[in-house]
Amino acid sequence: MKPRIYQVDEAAGGITRAELHEKAVAFVEERYPRTGDVPFLWIIDDGEALVWIETGWEDEAEKVASYNLVALTLMISKARQYASIVEVWIARQHPAPDGSYPNDAPLPSERPENEREDAVLINTFERNGAFNLTTFIAKRHSKLLGARVNEDSSGPGKWQGRMFNMFERGQKLARRFAE
């Protein structure tokens, strides 16, 4: 899928990270019960407008292209913050006896269905790295969203992944292209 502009909210930019996050959450809470899915969306706040961009999410190549497109867009734009909305599989990772988390644990996509759950993940990042994260466990067949679970950059959660802090990813890509 080619990236496309989903919508543009003129004069809606310049809001707080919490307000941007709640706009993304409201979109999910309205759409998912009605359709049973959400598009892979990025909402970029440049201080003046909110630009909603839909990108592909069908295979690994589309995912990487989407990450890179958004990361570079954030790098060269006046973006203050962004939110992303995506359906994912999640799985619990249990710490080793010493309290560390092994880096070689299987990805949720590599685990059997009974060891992972469908979820809708919403993250909102500011250029300075502060973030909000909301997860809903999703029940696709019934179009139901589970309880809302919130975290932010001040919390104890150990979150990582390719879609976290795209501002940082854009800086790394720009340096790599400059070499």
Q: List the Cα angle 95/148/23 in 5-degree steps.
A: 125
On whether the pTM is more than 0.85, the answer is no
Angstrom distance (rounded) from CA 149 to CA 117:
14
Range of the domain at 13: 4-178
**Number of structural domains found in the chain:** 1
Is the pLDDT score of 18 beyond 60? Answer: yes
* Mean local confidence (pLDDT), 127-147: 86
Question: What is the percent of the chain where pLDDT is above 90?
Answer: 37
Is the pLDDT score of 157 beyond 60? Answer: no
Q: Which residue(s) pair with 110 in the sheet?
A: none
Render pLDDT for 43-59 as a digit per residue (tens, 0 to 9).
999 999 999 999 988 88
Render pLDDT for 86-130 as a digit per residue (tens, 0 to 9).
988 888 877 778 877 777 778 888 888 888 888 999 999 998 888
Render pLDDT for 161-170 as a digit per residue (tens, 0 to 9).
666 678 777 7
Question: What is the percent of the chain where pLDDT is above 70?
Answer: 93
Which pLDDT does position 25 carry in this prediction? 96
* Confidence at 3, pLDDT banded by 50, 70, 90: confident
Which pLDDT does position 1 carry in this prediction? 77
Please state the three-class secondary structure of the chain as a single string.
CCCEEEEEECCCCCCCHHHHHHHHHHHHHHHHHHHCCCCCEEEEECCCCEEEEECCCCCHHHHHHHHHHHHHHHHHCCCCEEEEEEEEEECCCCCCCCCCCCCCCCCHHHCCHHHCEEEEEEEEEECCCCEEEEEEEEEHHHCEEEEEEEEECCCCCCCCCCCCCHHHHHHHHHHHHHC
Which pLDDT does position 24 carry in this prediction? 97
Contact 115/161 with Cβ under 8 angstroms?
no
Which pLDDT does position 48 carry in this prediction? 94
